[in-house]
Structure 1
Amino acid sequence: MRIKNLIFFKALPFLILPLLLSGCSMALMDPKGAVGSEIKSLIITSFWLMMIVVIPVIVMTFLFAWRYRNTNYKAKYTPNWAHSNVIESIVWFIPLVIIAFLAVITWQTSHSLNPSAPIQAEEGVEPMEIDVVALDWKWLFIYPDQGIASVNEVAFPVDTPVQFNITSGTVMNSFMIPRLGSQLYAMAGMDNNLYLIANEEGVYPGRSTNYSGAGFSEMLFEAQVTSQEGFEAWVEKVRQSPKSLSFAEGYEELAAPSVAHPVEYFSSVPAELYDNIIMSFKNGTAVQPGHSGGHGGHQAAEQSAHGHDVAMSAEVAE
């Protein structure tokens, strides 16, 4: 009875593990866009290439433990054995070949999925542009062509390439919609471009993937992918909002740190708001509301003081 109980408790973690993993969303393995599908393919290919080494090692570990167990007197006993050129060659050659394949695949895929490379649109489909500003701890989405903006909610039509222009009004952050593909950093005084496309309608969660303070874990938003008619209806809904936003009016209040900020719409937004936010770090007029707790109050002030240097670095990089 004691032996059976011991076996049960040893096997218990392996029985519980599938239940724990079943709670994972596995968003990267359920892509809804062309970029996400390519990333999934790269992950799966890399995984199985590595399994060429991992699986035999695991199998041989159990086989060796079983064959050379203490009670198996039939196993050949060779206490003076020390080296085998054949085994040594296999142990080094196979992993080196796998690493070489992984290097080539990763290199090619990384260049083909360059986040700043525009996505080819289908005939008759016009690409669209959305400005993204990371704030503490929320996301501001500006639609320069429509003259509107939203907080913690972004919408765009299905099968339409979207150019996300990404910056930060505060500390560095990272923008990602896992089911659509790549993540990209948002940095104050800099403009980064990310191209994505969604091939299915739906509501996809997006988030910050870079630690930026106590509230970053709730820095979430929804990406609503709709038909062209649905997107136009969404734009009209935003235009019904009585709120307006500009760098001189409303932005400082919005930029103040807040956690779990509700979805908010602005019906009137100047197209140059995004550029104003970037330029504010170049000319030293960046909005730096007081930060609470240990998160970045000093860091934000320091960032503002060095904003010109950051901007100059961005220009040199470009």
Structure 2
Amino acid sequence: MRIFRILTVLPVFALLGGCQWVLLSPSGDVAVQQRNLMLASTALMLLVILPVMALTIFFAWRYRASARATYHPDWNHSLPLEVVIWSVPLLIIIIIGAMTWMGTHLLDPYRPLNRISAGKPTVEAKAGGNGVRKEPLVIQVVALDWKWLFLYPAQGIASLNEVVAPVDQPIEFRITASSVMNSLFIPALAGQIYAMPGMQTKLNAVINHLGDFEGFSANYSGAGFSDMRFRFHGVDDTAFGDWVQNAIRTGTPLGREEYLVLERPSEREPARQFRDVPSDLFGAILDMCVDPAKMCMRDMMAMDAKGGGGKEGIHIVAALEYDKSVRRGGQPMPPRPFVTAICTPTDVYGTAGATARVAN
């Protein structure tokens, strides 16, 4: 019977053999450093946990009732034991705290990379002692419902549900969303970073190995969340150049009108490329004013900084509403009436009970 029970458990281990330990075997230097920090912290915590578990079993056996051990009912203090109990955890907490503080700053996603990999800095040494920093590849990311749009501003192209980047090339992701809060996560590359509408977050990372990796949304965002996945390809410089040229030749144009169509909710979109991407498209998405009928957030904030639009500005409220499917197409907002003043008995232009002046 015992052998039968063991055999019934073996298929479970066979299924676990198909799992990928991507978090423990990443392909990007940032993810490698995060992995090392996680393993070091776990090992330090085990220095406390394992002895406690072992001593719990030992004490239960050593001082069992049948052992006939010496009983000291008045015992209450042991200096060596107190030193061990308090000093070891304290030292571990100090070490973990220092590691976490350093890791938090060195692995800040907004911080430009200072190395490509261990022993390989981003600043390339040149003759004469002057170094040249390797400029990052800028990729603008937009979390749509329910797909990912990646824009390459320097190349003038974009791709849907696919990212291609050269190996050992620093990457600077600039991330936003079109509607709800989302999260970009490529486990082999770096940690996750949130994507929020009207805001920009950043993620600096680098891929160190050729390969095809998975990326996905790590934050629930609606019905199509489960299929909100994409592929990240680490390639050499030649393959990246070929991919860019292929997108320029065969991709479809992506302007503001095309983006408004692409932005509509959809699921399981196939990977494809776009060309002729306006340089200001990402800025318009970030400002939530791709539609010409919408007021940009920067204009709204400038208006608020000056005290607001007053009653006369009520008619522009509709232009500030970021609706994804209503009143689109560049149609101007209809004017709305507003009350400019209320007549009072002391008003030289009116009398008590006079009606308010209404302007259109």
TM-score normalised according to structure 1 size: 0.79
| 1:239 equivalent in alignment to 2:256 | no
| 2:81 paired residue among 80, 87, 95 | 87
Read off the aligned partner of 1:269 and give its amino acid letter. V
Find the counterpart in structure 2 of residue 45 from structure 1. 40
| 1:146 paired residue among 148, 152, 155 | 155
Q: Is the 8 A contact 1:255 1:289 kept in 2?
A: no
Deviations 1:106-155 (A, max 9, x none): 00111011111112435375421110001112110001111111111000
Inter-partner Cα distance in structure 1 for 2:17 and 2:93: 31
Equivalent runs, 1:1-318 vs 2, <5 Å: 22-69=17-64, 72-78=66-72, 81=75, 84-120=78-114, 121=122, 123=124, 125-247=134-256, 249-280=257-288, 282=297, 284=320, 286=322, 288-289=324-325
Read off the aligned partner of 2:324 and give its amino acid letter. Q
Read off the aligned partner of 1:222 and give its amino acid letter. R
Partner of 1:101: helix, strand, or coil? Answer: helix
Mean Cα deviation higher: 46-55 or 234-243: 234-243
Read off the aligned partner of 1:254 and give its amino acid letter. L
Provide the identity percentage. 42
Q: Which structure 1 segments of 5+ residues have no match?
A: 291-318
**How far did 1:193 drift?**
1.7
Deviations 1:219-256 (A, max 9, x none): 11111110110001111222233522122x12222222
Read off the aligned partner of 2:99 and give its amino acid letter. I
Inter-partner Cα distance in structure 1 for 2:106 and 2:8: 41
Shift in CA distance, 117/78, structure 1 to aligned 2, threshold 3 Å: same
Inter-partner Cα distance in structure 2 for 1:77 and 1:221: 66
Q: Is the 8 A contact 1:33 1:198 kept in 2?
A: yes
Shift in CA distance, 25/226, structure 1 to aligned 2, threshold 3 Å: same
Inter-partner Cα distance in structure 2 for 1:122 and 1:222: 29
* Number of residue pairs matched by the alignment: 283
Shift in CA distance, 150/28, structure 1 to aligned 2, threshold 3 Å: same
Q: Which gives a bigger RCO, structure 1 or 2 (Cα 8 Å, sep 6+)?
A: 1
Shift in CA distance, 51/8, structure 1 to aligned 2, threshold 3 Å: farther
Read off the aligned partner of 2:96 and give its amino acid letter. L
Find the counterpart in structure 1 of residue 128 from structure 2. none
Aligned-residue CA RMSD in angstroms?
2.9
Inter-partner Cα distance in structure 2 for 1:20 and 1:86: 48
Inter-partner Cα distance in structure 2 for 1:133 and 1:154: 12
Find the counterpart in structure 2 of residue 313 from structure 1. none
Q: Is the 8 A contact 1:255 1:287 kept in 2?
A: no
Q: Which structure 2 segments of 5+ residues have no match?
A: 115-121, 125-131, 289-295, 301-319, 327-360
Read off the aligned partner of 1:208 and give its amino acid letter. S
Read off the aligned partner of 1:100 and give its amino acid letter. I
Partner of 2:245: helix, strand, or coil? Answer: helix
Inter-partner Cα distance in structure 2 for 1:52 and 1:13: 34
**How far did 1:165 drift?**
0.7
Shift in CA distance, 23/51, structure 1 to aligned 2, threshold 3 Å: farther
Q: Is the 8 A contact 2:251 2:272 kept in 1?
A: no
TM-score normalised according to structure 2 size: 0.70
Mean Cα deviation higher: 209-218 or 221-230: 209-218
Larger-gyration structure (1/2): 2
Inter-partner Cα distance in structure 2 for 1:96 and 1:57: 15
Find the counterpart in structure 1 of residue 310 from structure 2. none
Mean Cα deviation higher: 121-130 or 151-160: 121-130
Read off the aligned partner of 1:265 and give its amino acid letter. Q
Shift in CA distance, 47/75, structure 1 to aligned 2, threshold 3 Å: same
Inter-partner Cα distance in structure 2 for 1:16 and 1:131: 44
Inter-partner Cα distance in structure 1 for 2:323 and 2:172: 25
